[in-house]
Amino acid sequence: MNARDWFGVAARVLGIWLLIRAVSGLVTALAVQRGWLGFDLESTVPKYRLALSAADFIFGLLLLARTQFFIDLTYPEKEKGNADPGEELSSNSDSGG
């Protein structure tokens, strides 16, 4: 795998992690608001957690839905005439006996 492929894997993993964080934040905000934790916290905590969860959800979906866009933006396609330097090195090392 090359750097472009690894970037795609990392972007997708980050997107999934952000979605998990969003669900966790939503559960925390609900627990605080409903009093399920057994103690009372400030009223700003649920609002803060909901805003943070919404941002995590949006960015997570964006990363998952538009991963190829971010890959192309970060690693533009090379022209067909230009070979990848890593491929040249590996082909030279294989042919030398």
Alpha-helical (H) ranges within the chain are: 3-34, 44-65, 67-74, 85-95
Give the HSE-up count for residue 6: Cα atoms under 13 Å, Cβ half-sphere: 3
User: In Å, how far from its chain's centre is CA 1?
Assistant: 19
Q: Which of 76, 75, 52, 70 is nearest to 14 (CA)?
A: 70
Nearest 5°: CA angle at 59, between 54 and 62?
125
Each residue's pLDDT tens digit, 15-34: 999 999 999 988 888 887 77
pLDDT, position 18: 96
What average pLDDT does range 58-82 have in this prediction?
Answer: 86
Binned at pLDDT 50, 70 and 90, residue 90 comes out as low
